[in-house]
Each structure stands twice: as structure tokens, then as C-alpha cells.
Amino acid sequence: MVRDGNTILDDIDWSVASDERWVILGPNGAGKTTLLQIAAAAMHPTRGTAEVLQESLGKVDVFELRPMIGFASTAMARQIPRGESVIDTVITAAYSVTGRWNEEYEGIDDRRAQRVLKEWGLDGFADRRFGSLSDGEQKRVQIARSVMTDPELLLLDEPAASLDLGAREELVALLGGFASSATSPAIVMVTHHVEEIPEGFTHAMLLADGTVRAAGPIAEALTSETLTETFGMPIELEEHDGRYTARAAR
Ligand SMILES: Nc1ncnc2c1ncn2[C@@H]1O[C@H](COP(=O)(O)OP(=O)(O)OP(=O)(O)O)[C@@H](O)[C@H]1O
């Protein structure tokens, strides 16, 4: 992937199967968001090919593809009007818009939106204004919105960024439950912190300077050694019951 003459991603050979849940880690500027943008069919590669949900980017109508992809990121959250109600924030995903205008929603959309809100711990929030919610609640609304269309691929760009410990743990538990369900879509989550990896995540990719430093089943790709190599400092990783902690090695 080349942007303004700079190679941002190079020589990436990666595929995600429908039953896999990937975490992508790497230093600032590694290319994580760019990779997610390609997976979201929001960009296509300057060289090589990218297939998303069996369709080749550049050949497929991305407007048909995008409803099958759920995407939650801070950039998307900024597009949600602060005065929008929570239920409208979620239900408008069915029409790939933010900001309810005159769309006619069907009862089935309404029922699904209510169900999705409940699944993400937002029972009773339907009529609240998006802008009046706490950061943790807003993050859960964004994820609820991204799963509203029952996507086949769910992309999460730093879903737990800026959350306090309690809100993070609440979100990670919800994501873990979702990731462990047999009916969930393929998931790719970018994060800066191994503590934010939910239980049930199966694979990891470590990126640095636009290249893959490790990728594969999480137990092999996410280790003290691969983190040390990727971040260029000695790091110790520990795992307890499917959750991780990391710190500089002593
Ligand atoms: N449109 C663009 N033109 C030129 N360079 C770009 C463009 N978009 C991104 N970059 C550069 O590409 C590199 C990778 O950016 P990207 O946002 O994908 O990294 P990231 O791993 O998500 O970083 P962070 O962890 O800081 O969010 C950065 O050096 C960035 O400055």
C-alpha cells in the first residue's frame, strides 16, 4: 500500500477464515488502521490484490459489500450526531447512514436494534442522546451499530481506547462472549494493549513498519519474543485464563 510515495504496508499475505477472531498489535504508525481500511473495502491496495468476503477489491461494487462488513472506529463515531438517539444511531446502520432523516424503517429493524442494544448491555438506553453517554456506553453503542446488519466480518479499531478499567473490563467481557459464540462473524480487532484482547480470540498479527512480524494462531504469534521483536524493546508477556498482560522485561 503506497500513499503519497510512502510505502505503508508491504508484502502482506494474510487471510481470515469465518471462524477466526484476530487481534492486530503494533507500534504507532505500523499500518494497522490502513490494513483495517482495506479489510473494510474503504481503500484498495496499490499493488497486489485484496479479497474481502470472496470479492476482489477493485472489481466489486463496494456499496454492495460494505453492508456485510461491520466497522467500529473513533473516526466513525465522530460522524454520529451528538443529539441522535441511541436507537436511531444503531438502526441507521441498516441504511449505512449516520443521522436519521426520513428513512422508513421496518418493524423488523426496530426489533433487531432493540435486541442488539440488549446484547451490548444497553437495555434502557434507546431514547438517550448519543452525546450524553459515557465513553464506555458510546463504545458499546458503536459496536451495537456495527453488528446491526448481522455482518459477515466485524472490524474493530481500538474499541477499548480511552475507557476506564471498569468500562474496559465490561466491554472486553461482552466482546469475549460475542467472540465465543458460534454464530458470530469473523472478527478483526486492532488494539494497543494485550490487556484488551478478549477471551476467545484465536489469532494474532504483529505489525511494525508496514510489515508482518508474526501472524497465526495466538499462542504462537503472540509471545514475549514476538512482542520484543515488534516493539524493539524487551517485553514479558503473561497469559492467565485466556487474558494477557505485558510489561517491559526486568
Ligand atoms: N493518506 C496518507 N498519506 C500518507 N501517509 C499516510 C496516509 N495515511 C497513513 N499514512 C502513514 O502511514 C503509516 C501507517 O498509518 P496507520 O494509521 O495505518 O498506522 P497505525 O498502525 O494504525 O498507527 P496508530 O497506532 O498510531 O493508530 C503512518 O506513518 C501514517 O503517517
Task: Give the CATH number, domain containing residue 190.
Answer: 3.40.50.300
Nearest CA to ligand 1 atom 1: 3
Bigger pLDDT: 235 vs 58: 235
Q: Tell me if residue 41 falls in helix, strand or coil.
A: coil
Please choose from 32, 43, 158, 206 the residue to mutate so as to test ligand 1's pocket, defined by most ligand atoms within 8 A of CB: 32
What is residue 205's predicted lDDT score, i.e. its pLDDT?
Answer: 96
Residue 82 domain flag: no
Nearest CA to ligand 1 atom 4: 3
Instruction: Tell which residue, 193, 231, 237, has the closest CA to residue 209.
Output: 231
Residue 56 has pLDDT above 90, yes or no: no
What is residue 110's predicted lDDT score, i.e. its pLDDT?
Answer: 84
Residue 134 has pLDDT above 90, yes or no: yes
Q: Is 5 in the pocket of ligand 1 (CB under 6 A)?
A: no
Phi, psi of 111, rounded to the nearest 5 degrees: -65, -40
- Any idea what DSSP says for residue 195? G
Percent of the chain with pLDDT over 90: 64
| The residue type at 89 | T
Residue 209 CA to ligand 1 center (angstroms) comes to: 10
Residue 10 domain flag: yes
> Residue 94 — pLDDT band, cuts 50, 70, 90?
low
Question: Cell numbers 513498519 correspond to what residue?
Answer: 209
Question: Which residues, in sequence order, are bridge partners of residue 190?
Answer: 24, 157
Domain that includes residue 43, residue range: 2-76+152-248
- 39 and 52 Cβ atoms separated by less than 8 Å: yes
79 sits in the region (left: phi over 0; alpha: psi -120 to 50; else beta) called: alpha
Residue 207 domain flag: yes
Residue 31 domain flag: yes
Residue 35 domain flag: yes
| Count of domains observed in the chain | 1
* pTM exceeds 0.80 for this model: yes
Residue 117 domain flag: no
Residue 206 has pLDDT above 70, yes or no: yes
Q: Is 31 in the pocket of ligand 1 (CB under 6 A)?
A: yes
Q: Is 136 in the pocket of ligand 1 (CB under 6 A)?
A: no
* ipTM surpasses 0.85: yes
Residue 128 CA to ligand 1 center (angstroms) comes to: 34
Residue 9 has pLDDT above 80, yes or no: no
Residue 241 domain flag: yes
Q: Is 34 in the pocket of ligand 1 (CB under 6 A)?
A: yes
Give the strand pairing for 203-208 and 153-157.
unpaired
